[in-house]
Amino acid sequence: MTSYRDLLAAARAAVREVSPEEVQGRVATGAPPLLLDVREADEWSGGHLPGARHLPRGHLEARVEALVPDRGAELVLYCAAGHRSALAARTLAEMGYQRVASMAGGYGRWHDLGFPTVKPDVLEAEQKERYRRHLVIPEVGEEGQARLLAAKVLLLGAGGLGSPAALYLAAAGVGTLGIVDSDVVELSNLQRQVLHSTRTLGLPKTASAAEAIRALNPGVKVIPFQERLTSQNVQRILDGFDVVVDGGDNFPTRYLLNDACVLAGVPCVHGSVYRFEGQVTTLWPGRGPCYRCLYPEPPPADLAPSCAEAGVLGVLPGIVGLLQANEVLKLLLGQGAPLVGRLLAFDGLETRFHELKLRRDPACPVCRPGALVTLTDEAPACSGEVVAAPERAW
C-alpha cells in the first residue's frame, strides 16, 4: 500500500519546486507567474501572497480549467508548508498543465522571511449566505465580493435603464450606489421603470429608488442626488465613484457626463434604447473612444426621436440595463473583456445581437492627448428618454 509520505515523495520528484526568494524576485519585478493558493478558506483569510488567486485543493480539479484555461500558463502553487501544493502541482501536470511549480516551504516560509502579504476583508456570516452563489465562482470568490462591497457606482437616471441596473448591482452587493435624477414617479414610467411602483407615484425617483434598493439589500448605501446634472455640479457628484452608468435622457447630458468622466478618468457604461432596439458600450478614458468620438455633433432630432415620440418596448430597457450592470461588475472585478471600442447592438424583434467596432478620433476635442476640456451645458438637441441613434450614425 502507498502511504501519504510515498505520495508526497513521488509528487516532489515529479514537479519543480521554487523557493520563496525566487517567487518574491518575480513579484518585485512586476512579472510574477500566476500564483494559486490551494489552502482552505480560513487559511486564505489569514493572509496570502500579493496577486494570488484562491483555489482550495479540494476544488482544484473541478475549477482550475475555468480559472486557468491556458494549459501553457506559468503557475506556482503554494500551501502552508509546501506539501499540498506539491500534490496539487502533480495533479495539474497530469491534467496537461505544462509549466507548474510548487513553492517550497509554502506560506509559512514566505511569512517568516518577512515578504509582503495581503489580508483580505472577511465577509460576515450573513454576507457569505447572501452572496453564496458568487463565492463559488473562481472569478469572484470572497476577494471579489469584498471588492464589490467596497465599490461605488454612480447611476445617471433612475428610469428605464437605471432601474434594472440599480436593482441588479444592489443584489450583487455593490456597496454604494449614487443615483442622479430630478424627476418624480409618474404612471407612464411604470411600464418599464421597475424600481418604482404605484405606491410611490408622485415621489422623487431618488427616494423611490432608495426605498426599493433598501428593501432588496439593506447593506447597500444609497446616495441620492435629487438634481439635474449640470456643468456646475457634475464634478462634485462624480467625485469618489469608480464607475458610471449612463442612463441619461438627452444628448447634452450625455456629452457633459462623457467630458466629466474623461477629466476624472472614470469609465462610463453607456446604454440607449429605441422602440425594439438597444445599444451598449463602455467608454473608458485612455483605453478606447469617448462619446464625442462617436458623435462629434448630436444627430438631427428627426433621426433620434424621444421615447415619448417613438415609443419603446417595456422589456427592452431591462435587457440593455442588465447588460450595463454586467459591464459594471466585470470592470469592478477586473474580469472578462469589457465593451471598450465595441458597440453591442440588440434587435428585440429578431432577437439578435451584433457588434460594431469603434475607433478613437485622433482629433477628438475631449479625449485626444493634450486636449483642454471645458465643462459646458450645451443647447438641447433632443428631449425625452434615452434613445438609440440609428446605426448609420456610428
* pLDDT of 380 above 50: no
Kindly report, residue by residue over 311-329, the tens digit of the pLDDT: 789 999 999 999 999 999 9
Least trusted range by pLDDT, from 143-147, 159-163, 284-288, 389-393: 389-393
pLDDT in the model for residue 385: 41
For residues 42 and 332, which has the higher predicted lDDT (pLDDT)? 332
For 56, the grid coordinates are: 482550495
**Is residue 383 predicted with pLDDT exceeding 50?**
no
- In angstroms, rounded to a whole number, what is the distance separating the alpha carbons of residues 234 and 227? 10
Residues of the chain with CATH 3.40.250.10: 4-120
How much of the chain exceeds pLDDT 90, in percent?
77
CB 217 within 8 A of CB 173: yes
367-385 average pLDDT score: 70
Listed residue (125, 145, 124) closest to 134, CA to CA:
145
Q: Please, where are the H alpha helices in 311-362?
A: 316-333
- Between 75-79, 145-149, 169-173, 386-390, the lowest mean confidence (pLDDT) is in 386-390
Residues annotated as catalytic are: 307
Q: Around Cβ 176, how many Cβ atoms within 10 Å?
A: 17
pLDDT at 174: 98
Tell whether the model's pLDDT for residue 300 goes beyond 70.
no
Residues in the chain, total: 394
Check pLDDT > 60 for residue 3: yes
DSSP string, 35-77: EEE-S-HHHHHT-B-TT-EE--GGGHHHHHHHH---TTSEEEE
Regarding the domain delimited by 151-393, which CATH topology (the fold level of the hierarchy) does it fall under? Rossmann fold (3.40.50)
Q: Has residue 394 got a pLDDT over 50? A: no
Closest CA to 194 of 311, 349, 317: 317
pTM of the model: 0.76
* Contact predicate 111/119, CB 8 Å: no
State the average pLDDT over residues 7-19.
93
Please name the CATH architecture into which domain 4-120 falls: 3-Layer(aba) Sandwich (3.40)
Task: With cut-offs at 50, 70 and 90, classify the pLDDT of residue 45.
Answer: confident
Question: Where do you find CATH 3.40.50.720 in the chain?
Answer: 151-393
261 near 267, Cβ under 8 Å?
yes
Higher pLDDT, 378 or 230: 230
Q: How far is CA 82 from CA 24, 103, 114, in A?
A: 16, 6, 17
pLDDT band at residue 309 using 50, 70 and 90 as cut-offs? low
